[in-house]
Amino acid sequence: MRLYDTHCHLAWRAAEDPPVDQIARARAVGVEAIVCVAIDAATSVQARELARSMPETLRASVGLHPNDAGDADALTAHLARLEQLAAEGGFHAVGETGLDFYRDHSSPAVQERALEFQLDLARRYDLPVILHCRQAAARLLEVLEASGGPLRGVMHCFSEGPETVDDFLALGLHVSFAGNLSYPKSESIREAARRVPDHRLLIETDAPFLAPQPRRGRPNEPAFVAFTLEALAAARAQPAAELAAATWRNACALFGGS
């Protein structure tokens, strides 16, 4: 089984646990491709450097997380930098972007401007978009629907109510599940996971966050995407090998690989 971790922040713990070691452990359990996701310009550059050092395994995104968008003035500078980085190239996705009304690091207006800019950036560079959503599903759906036309990309770490899954699918998006799918209290996430058709499913770790239940309490890492797959197979009562093949195929179509 080949596994594709479609969302991790590999450089986050680079000092304590070098990315090469994390990647070696991941490859040992069949994780053959990994998307290194940025949260701002600096981590976009880091992700691109990592991806260039291991192009057969790693892909990088360029983006600005809603919690890192700053105030209106800071945002203008952030967006100019993203534009410049995207023009330089070396990226396979835009994000992570989206809305986060759980934290108030940036105002909703600033978050929305950052999101609209990145949706446009993704369209102009023909890249998939990686979407983050926390306690903001209704507004996010409105912004996405108003953005004009079908979207290519993924709702990452899906943790919204299962009743919103159909709306995100209708926009053309994939839906990705992370380690929190395996938590005892996550029955609503498992219900959401049952509603996604095979051809729109992805798996991820969101490392170093959200270590899966069997490894809970320690930093997450790409190797643990195997536990996400296991939890998905259990939730859907579907063979893990079948889900590994489907999620691999879907991830390759979005982020590259074969």
User: Rule CB under 5 A: which residues touch Zn ion?
Assistant: 206
CA gap 95, 60 in Å, rounded? 10
Half-sphere exposure of 96 (CA within 13 A, CB side): 23
50: nearest Cα among 104, 91, 80: 91
The nearer residue to Zn ion, 70 or 208, going by C-beta atoms, is: 208
CB of residue 90 to Zn ion, shortest distance in Å: 19
Nearer to Zn ion, 8 or 232 (CB): 8
The CB-of-132 to Zn ion minimum distance in angstroms stands at 6
Q: Return the structure tokens found at 27.
A: 């490859």
Strand ranges (E), 117-255: 129-134, 153-155, 174-177, 201-203
Least separation in angstroms between CB 209 and Zn ion: 7
Nearer Cβ to Zn ion, position 40 or 206?
A: 206
Please report, for residues 40, 123, 151, 164, 171, the alpha-carbon distance to residue 148 in angstroms, rounded to integers and kept in the order given. Answer: 25, 10, 9, 19, 10
CB of 73 to Zn ion, least distance (A): 25
Q: How far is the CB of 37 from Zn ion (least distance, A)?
A: 5
C-beta closer to Zn ion: residue 221 or 236: 221
- Residue 93 CA to residue 152 CA, distance in Å, equals 10
Cβ proximity to Zn ion: between 160 and 206 the closer is 206
The least CB distance from residue 196 to Zn ion, in Å, is 19
H/E stretch holding 169: helix 165-170
Q: Which is nearer to Zn ion, 131 or 236 (CB)?
A: 131
Q: Is the dihedral of CA 236, 190, 250, 145 positive or negative?
A: positive
